[in-house]
Amino acid sequence: MADVNDKPTALTATHTRPKVVEVPRPTPDQQVFLRSTNLRPGPYDHNVVVGGPSRVRRPTA
Partner 1 sequence: MWSDLAVVGATVACSQPYSFYFDLIEKVWKAKGTNNLPLHRLCTLARKQGARTIVLEPASRLEHVKHEIDVLDRMYGGGAGGGAAEAVSISFFDCDIVDDDDLGDVPNTAFLGQAIVINYRPPESADFTISYVFEGILPPPSLSRDNGHRFLLNNYLAAHREHTCEVRGRPFSVQGVYYCQQNSNTHVCAHACLRMAMRTTTETDLTAKQINDLLGITPPCEGLSLGQIVQVIEHQGLEAEVTDVKDDLKYLSVLASIVESGDLALLVFTTGNEAAAGQGQSEEHVVLVYGHTRNSDEWHPQAIPVYAGPGSAEYLPASAWIDHFLIHDDNLGPYYTLGTQALERDPDVKPHWIIAIREKATGLTAMGAEAIATVMLTNMLPVLAPSSNGRWFDYITQQPWRYVLRTILMSRDDYITHLREARGHDETAATEEELEPLNALPERLWMVEFSLPSLFTGNRAKLGEVLLMADPDKPEDIDDVFLGLRLPNLLVVKDPATKTMLQTDCSLQSHSALFRRTTCGVEW
Non-local CB neighbours of 26 within 8 Å, separated by 6+ positions: 34
Nearer to partner 1, 58 or 61 (CB): 58
Q: Which of residues 42-61 bind partner 1 (CB under 8 A)?
A: 42, 44-59
Does residue 18 belong to the site contacting partner 1 (CB under 8 A)?
A: yes
User: Which string of b and e fits 10-33 if b means at least 16 CB within 10 Å?
Assistant: eeeeeeeeeeeeeeeeeeeeeeee
Amino acid identity for residue 34 in this structure: L
Question: Residue 34 CB, nearest distance to partner 1 (Å)?
Answer: 6
Binding footprint of partner 1 on the chain (CB under 8 A): 2, 4-5, 7-11, 13, 15, 17-27, 29-30, 32-34, 37-42, 44-59
